[in-house]
């Protein structure tokens, strides 16, 4: 037997195989699109038929189909918290730091800030509630033009003040101020400040680093109403300042807080609800907080600053 073997170039063989495969694929596609009819399972509808189908559906048919029993509509269960780890709303808010929808604030009637600056600085350094709050509202600062701003600055805070003037017809006392945390906001602007015999106020507009999309800025308004002030006149003056700020910045949230003594803002600002429901001096609530968002805050009592008998309420956002 004679066996003949021919040795060919492997590159030529591979080229022939590729060419034959390409020709085969092209022929298959040609016959598929030209000679094979459309599949029988394909159903087409025009607009008229679809409208007729919708009109012929029974009215008692439920709009939402029931889910199978193995699927749950509720929220996904969170993983169990580790042992020894604290939980709760306040802990979750603290974990968010300064990224809160509404700022957490501290309100205090210091009754002379000049001799309590060191203690306030110590509280900011040692206590987390003071250090991480967005702003500290101070009423009864008793400041004069002889005390410079440099003597009142706390580390990491920007101080805004409105001292009592001769327009109040009183020589000492009064005055309001804000210490705004620079970790929360550095873009601040004083909108208005004034002093009269019935009202002392300071309004500051803050554009924080983080805020909800619906809120362009936060407007903080500190107010001090003396015990001898006319209640109706003081309430109307403060309401005019608040409504002016609302008209100028409609996408902002206005928070009104301070020492109101015997004055209530429920008639002049009916949309603003009081947030402090605890006693701040003996059995009376003199320090108050008004917000257009009801139940947005929850007040907590803190020890007074210095020897002041008026308890400062700390405001934290309630989730």
Domain assignment present for 11:
no
CATH number of the domain bearing residue 299 = 3.60.10.10
Full-model pTM: 0.68
Domain assignment present for 17:
no
| Summary mean pLDDT of the chain | 80
Does 1 or 113 have the greater pLDDT score? 113
pLDDT tens digits, 29-87: 665 656 555 555 567 778 788 778 767 776 555 544 455 554 444 555 556 666 666 66
Domain count, the chain: 1
Domain assignment present for 16:
no
Does 161 or 37 have the greater pLDDT score? 161
Residue 197: which domain range? 89-317
pLDDT tens digits, 291-300: 999 888 888 8
User: What is the structure's pLDDT at 157?
Assistant: 94
User: What is the structure's pLDDT at 21?
Assistant: 59
**Closest among 276, 275, 286, 277 to 309, alpha carbons compared:** 286
Alpha helix locations (H) across 96-230?
A: 117-126, 128-131
Residue 37 has a CB neighbour count (10 Å cut-off) of 5
Q: What is the mean pLDDT of residues 148-176?
A: 88
Domain assignment present for 189:
yes
Domain assignment present for 8:
no
Question: In whole angstroms, what is the distance from residue 298 CA to residue 292 CA?
Answer: 14
Query: Which range is least confidently modeled, 131-135, 255-259, 306-310?
Result: 306-310
Domain assignment present for 255:
yes
Domain assignment present for 266:
yes
**Closest among 53, 202, 56 to 136, alpha carbons compared:** 202
User: What is the structure's pLDDT at 184?
Assistant: 93
Q: What is the mean pLDDT of residues 20-31?
A: 63
Domain assignment present for 169:
yes
């Amino acid at each position: 037997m004679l066996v003949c073997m021919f040795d060919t170039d492997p590159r030529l063989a591979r080229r022939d195989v590729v060419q034959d495969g390409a020709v085969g694929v092209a022929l298959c596609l040609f016959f598929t699109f030209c000679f094979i009819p459309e599949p029988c399972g394909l159903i087409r509808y025009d607009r008229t038929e679809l409208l007729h189908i919708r009109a012929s559906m029974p009215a008692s048919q439920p709009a939402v189909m029931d889910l199978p029993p193995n699927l749950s509509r509720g929220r996904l269960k969170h993983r169990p918290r580790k042992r020894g780890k604290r939980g709760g709303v306040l802990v979750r808010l603290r974990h968010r730091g300064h990224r809160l929808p509404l700022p957490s604030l501290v309100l205090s009637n210091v009754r002379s800030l000049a001799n309590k600056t060191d203690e306030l600085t110590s509280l900011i350094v040692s206590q987390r509630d003071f250090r991480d709050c967005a702003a500290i509202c101070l009423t009864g600062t008793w400041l004069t033009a002889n005390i410079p701003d440099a003597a009142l600055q706390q580390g990491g805070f920007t101080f805004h003040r409105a001292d009592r003037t001769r327009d109040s017809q009183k020589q000492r006392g009064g005055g309001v101020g804000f210490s705004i945390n620079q970790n929360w906001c550095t873009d601040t602007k004083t909108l208005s400040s004034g002093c009269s015999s019935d009202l002392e106020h300071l309004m500051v507009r803050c554009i924080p680093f983080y805020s909800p999309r619906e809120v362009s800025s936060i407007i903080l308004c500190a107010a001090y109403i003396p015990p001898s002030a006319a209640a109706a006149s003081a309430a109307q003056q403060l309401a005019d300042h608040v409504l002016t700020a609302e008209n100028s910045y409609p996408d902002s949230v206005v928070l009104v807080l301070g020492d109101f003594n015997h004055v209530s803002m429920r008639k002049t600002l009916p949309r603003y609800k009081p947030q402090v429901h605890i006693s701040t001096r003996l059995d009376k609530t003199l320090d108050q907080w008004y917000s257009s968002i009801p139940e947005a805050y929850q007040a907590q009592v803190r020890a007074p600053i210095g020897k002041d008998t008026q308890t400062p309420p700390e405001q934290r956002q309630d989730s």
